[in-house]
């Protein structure tokens, strides 16, 4: 049965490593689609956790919001596991190649993401917003039909993502948020890479437009 696109969600637990430090983290898994087809947003710690959300649906793409290891670690394995082994393309912004290569040294993603690019699944369109700062190639995915935006680690419930590590920059991140996210409707639900949802209006009030 097909129908209006929906957002499905789960949480997967594992580690995040960068700059010689490792932390335990819980990552959100987001899947957008209907009963027949979907896209997966990020591929954190466990292929099985992701496949439990996907079910028997066709996966059109694995879209990575950025290339920190806790968001792309199982992307290649997931690529091979979906669609009966036929695979699905991994999409990533090319500015995140240095981060990707910290985790995956022997293969790249399949398709470059770009600002303004549109990804359509189950009759709904997600628009790519390049939001550097947390990572050079970080992107958010705005789904106006679903009244939501998937922000990865760019914007959380409580403010901007972390910028204390390699390849990150706080002023760049805040500029990205103000330029690309705070123009969205205030009631847009923010689905984050970690933790609880928030809204554009709540975060704009806290950070200041």
pLDDT in tens, 25-49: 999 999 999 999 999 999 999 999 9
CB atoms within 10 A of CB 87: 16
Sheet holding 139-143, edge to edge: 118-121, 124-130, 139-143, 148-152, 189-192, 198-199
Reported as a pLDDT band with limits 50, 70 and 90, residue 209 is confident
* Local confidence band at 2 (pLDDT 50, 70, 90 cut-offs): low
Q: Which helix (H) or strand (E) is 5 found in, with range?
A: none
pTM passes above 0.85: yes
In angstroms, the CA 94 to CA 67 distance is 10
93-128 pLDDT tens trace = 999 999 999 999 999 999 999 999 999 999 999 999
- C-alpha angle 46/3/52, rounded to 5°? 15
C-beta neighbour count of 101 within 10 angstroms: 12
Of the chain, the percentage scoring pLDDT greater than 70 comes to 99
**For 155-182, what is the mean pLDDT?**
97
CA–CA distance, 59 with 16 (Å, rounded to integer):
25
What integer is the mean pLDDT of 48-76?
A: 98
Q: How confident is the model at residue 189 (pLDDT cuts 50, 70, 90)?
A: very high
pLDDT at residue 1, as a whole number: 43
Q: 3-class DSSP state for residue 201?
A: helix
Q: What is the mean pLDDT of residues 58-74?
A: 98
Give the closest residue to 77 by CA, choosing from 64, 66, 87, 69. Answer: 87
């Amino acid at each position: 049965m097909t129908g209006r696109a929906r957002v499905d969600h789960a949480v997967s637990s594992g580690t995040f490593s960068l700059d010689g430090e490792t932390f335990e983290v819980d990552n959100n898994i987001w899947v957008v689609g209907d009963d027949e087809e979907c896209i997966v947003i990020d591929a954190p710690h466990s292929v099985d956790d992701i496949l439990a959300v996907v079910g028997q649906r066709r996966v059109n793409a694995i879209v990575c919001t950025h290339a920190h290891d806790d968001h792309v670690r199982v992307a290649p394995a997931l690529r091979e596991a979906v669609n009966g082994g036929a695979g699905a393309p991994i999409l990533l912004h090319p500015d995140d190649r240095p981060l990707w290569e910290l985790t995956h040294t022997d293969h790249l993603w399949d398709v470059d993401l770009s600002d303004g690019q549109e990804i359509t699944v189950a009759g709904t369109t997600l628009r790519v917003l390049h939001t550097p700062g947390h990572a050079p190639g970080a992107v958010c995915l705005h789904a106006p039909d679903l009244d939501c935006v998937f922000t990865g680690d760019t914007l959380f419930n409580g403010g901007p993502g972390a910028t204390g590590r390699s390849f990150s920059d706080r002023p760049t991140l805040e500029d990205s948020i103000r330029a690309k996210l705070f123009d969205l409707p205030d009631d847009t639900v923010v689905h984050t890479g970690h933790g609880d949802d928030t809204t554009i209006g709540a975060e704009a009030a806290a950070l200041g437009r």
